[in-house]
Chains A and B, each alone.
Chain A
Amino acid sequence: MTFALETIGLDKQFGGLHVTRDLSMKIAAGARHALIGPNGAGKTTVINLLTGVIKPNGGKILLEGADITGLSVQARVLRGLSRTFQINQLYADLTPLETIGLAVSERLGHGGDWWRRMGTRSDVNAEIAENLARFHLLDVMNEPTGTLPYGKQRLLEIALAIATKPRVLLLDEPAAGVPQSERHDILAAVASLPRDVTVLLIEHDMDLVFSFADRFSVLVNGALLVEGTPDEVAHDPRVKAVYLGEGADA
C-alpha cells in the first residue's frame, strides 16, 4: 500500500544536538493524523524536514510513494505538499485577493507571467474567488491583510495552503492565539477541509486534537514514542508519564 506521506529513518542533528532520531511515520491517504508531543520534542524540526526547509542527515521522505527528500521547498509544494504557519507569516501589506492570487498563479503555471497584468486570466480569477468564498474572505478580499481581525488572518492562512491544492496538508497549530469568539470559524474551517486531502495536524490544543484526528503520533525528544488511535494513545502509560512530567528524561 502506498501512503500519502511516509518517512523512513529520518534523522537530523544540529552539531551535537540530535533533534530528530530515526523517525519512521506512515500516514494513510485521507487520514486526519495528529503529531503531538511536549515542548521541545522536535515537532517544528519535523515540519521543516518534511517541507524541505532543512535537509535531513539521513533517511527518506516519500510523498505518495515518490522520494522527495532532495526536492526544494517550492518543488514539494507543486507536488502537493503544503503547510500552514504557526505564527502569522502572511503578507501584511498584500490583500487576501493578492495573497491567494500568488498561490493560484503558481499552481496553474502562470506565476512567472510578466507580460500581462493580474486579473486578466479568468481561470485564475475564478479559482481565487472560489478559495476566498470557501473561507468567507470575499468581504475583506481587498483590504490589507495586516488590518484584518486575527481570526480572519488565520482563515487566510488556511485558505492560502488550500489554494495550492495540496494532496497532503501540514496544519501547524491552526487555532493558536485565536480569541474565543473567532475560534468557532477556525474549527469549522479545519473540520470542513476536503476529505481527499490528507492532513497532518501539529497542535498543543488537546480539545482540537481529539475532536479532529483519527490517528496520533507522539513525539518525544525527536523520536516516535507511540503511534495509534486516540483511545490507545490516551490510555498509554508512557504518554501519560511524558505529559505529567514523570520519568521524562532530558
Chain B
Amino acid sequence: MSADHGVGEISLRRARWGHGETAFWLIAVAAIFVFSDRYLILTEMAWLGLFALSLDLILGYAGIVSLGHAAFFGVGAYCAGLLAVHGLVKEPVLALVVAGGAAMVLGFATSFLVIRGSELSQLMVTLGIALLLRELANKFSDITGGFDGLQGIVIDPILGLFAFDIFGKVGFIYCLVVLFVLFLLARLIVHSPFGLSLRAIRNNPLRAAAIGIPVNRRLIAIYTLSAFYAGIAGALFTQTTALASLDVFSFERSADLLLVLVIGGAGYLYGGLIGAVVFRVLQDVFSSWTPQFWQFWIGLVLVLIVLIGRERMYRGVLWLPRLVMRRMAFPGRSAS
C-alpha cells in the first residue's frame, strides 16, 4: 500500500458506489410495487433506458455520434421475433442473447465504416445503414412481414418458469433485471483501463495514439458492444410487446434516442436511464394534454434544456437531496 503512495486507493475510490446510485436502483425496484397499474410505460422506460445506455457508451465515452442506432435495435427486435415465430430459440433469455449477438455482428461489420471520418460523416453513415436495413426488411416481406410486421409472436415463459402476464408485471421485472445486469457490466467497463482509454480517445485521439493507445481497435470494440446493447433493447421490446414491424428501424427512433440522451446528459451512464424516464413521462403528459401537438412541447423542453444548461438545472433540483445526503454520509467531512 505504501509503495504506491495511495495510487491504487484513489483509483478504486472513483469506481465506488455512491448513495445516489443506490437510491436510483431502490426507486426502480420500488416502482414495481408503487406503480402497479403503469407497468407498460415502466417497461418502455426500461428498454428505452437500455437503448439510450448503448448510445451513451459510444457517444458519451468514445465520442462517436450516431443517427442510426435504430439499426441495431431493429435487428435485435426482428431477430427475437423470428426466433419466437419459428420456434428456433424458445427460451426468452437465450433468444435475447442470440438477438444481441446478431446486432453485435452487424455492429462489428459496420464499425469500420463508422469510426473513420468526422462527426458529420459518422452521422451520415449511421443514418444510411439504418435506412438501408429498413428497406431490406421491407423488401424481404416474406420473412419480416413487411409493413404489417411479424405475425404470431408468442413468447415462452422466462427460463421456463415465469410466464408473461397481461398486466406486464413479469415483463417489467424482466426488463429491469436485464437492464441492471447490463448496467453493471457497462459500469465495470467504463471504470476499467479500457474505459479510461475511451475517454482519452474522445478528448484527443491523436494524443491517445501518442501514448500508445490503439485508437481504432478500441473504437471498434466499444461500437460492437454498443450494438450488442442496442440489440438486446430491441429484443426486449419485441418480447414484451410481441411486436416487430418496420418502425423499429425508423429514423424517428434514432432521433428520439438522441433526445433522450440530451435530456439526461451523456457520459455518466445514468443519463440515458434518467432521460428515458423523463422523456416517456413528458411524452405521456403532453400527449394527454394535446394528443396532436405533444412533439411541440417536447421540442420546447429540449430548447429550454439547452438554453438553461443541464448542470444548472440539476444543481437546482438536487441541491436539497445532496445536502441531506452529505450530512448523513460524512458528518464533519466535506464530500468530494
A250 → B minimal CB distance (Å): 30
Q: Which residues of the partner chain B approach A98 to less than 8 Å between Cβ atoms?
A: 11, 196
Task: Using C-beta atoms within 8 Å of the partner chain, give the interface range for chain B.
Answer: 35 or more
Query: Does B302 sit within 8 A of A, measured CB to CB?
Result: no
Q: Which residues of the partner chain B approach A82 to less than 8 Å between Cβ atoms?
A: 210
Query: Does B109 sit within 8 A of A, measured CB to CB?
Result: no
B8 → A minimal CB distance (Å): 4
Query: Does A141 sit within 8 A of B, measured CB to CB?
Result: yes
A110-142: CB near B (< 8 Å → 1, else 0) gives 111111111110101110110011000010011
A106 touches B212 (CB 8 A): yes
B197-217: CB near A (< 8 Å → 1, else 0) gives 101100110111111111101
Q: Which residues of the partner chain A approach B7 to less than 8 Å between Cβ atoms?
A: 97, 119, 125-126, 128-129, 132, 141
Stretch at the interface among B27-35, B131-139, B174-182, B186-194: B186-194
B211 touches A103 (CB 8 A): yes
Q: When the two chains form the complex, which single residue of B10, B192, B209 contacts A114, counting CB atoms closer than 8 Å?
A: B192
A125 touches B11 (CB 8 A): yes
Query: Does B92 sit within 8 A of A, measured CB to CB?
Result: no
Query: Does B333 sit within 8 A of A, measured CB to CB?
Result: no
* Interface set, chain B 3-30, CB cutoff 8 A to A: 3-5, 7-12, 14-15
Q: Tell me, in angstroms, the Cα distance from A226 to B168 when the chains sit together.
A: 80
Q: Which residues of the partner chain A approach B193 to less than 8 Å between Cβ atoms?
A: 101-102, 105, 110-114, 116, 118, 124
Q: Which residues of the partner chain B approach A142 to less than 8 Å between Cβ atoms?
A: 10
A103 and B212 contact, Cβ closer than 8 Å, known pairs A110-B193, A118-B14, A119-B9? yes
Known: A82-B210, A111-B194, A129-B5. 10 other contacts (CB 8 A): A93-B203, A102-B196, A106-B197, A114-B189, A117-B15, A117-B192, A118-B192, A119-B10, A122-B8, A129-B4
11 contacts between A and B (CB under 8 A): A74-B209, A74-B210, A77-B211, A92-B203, A97-B7, A103-B212, A106-B197, A112-B218, A113-B194, A114-B189, A141-B7
Task: Tally chain A residues at the interface, Cβ within 8 Å.
Answer: 48
In the complex, the chain B residue whose C-beta lies closest to that of A95 is: B10
A125 and B192 contact, Cβ closer than 8 Å, known pairs A72-B209, A91-B200, A106-B212? no
Q: Tell me, in angstroms, the Cα distance from A73 to B11 when the chains sit together.
A: 28
Q: Tell me, in angstroms, the Cα distance from A28 to B217 when the chains sit together.
A: 34
Q: Tell me, in angstroms, the Cα distance from A4 to B10 when the chains sit together.
A: 38
Query: Does A85 sit within 8 A of B, measured CB to CB?
Result: yes
B60 → A minimal CB distance (Å): 13
A128 touches B4 (CB 8 A): yes
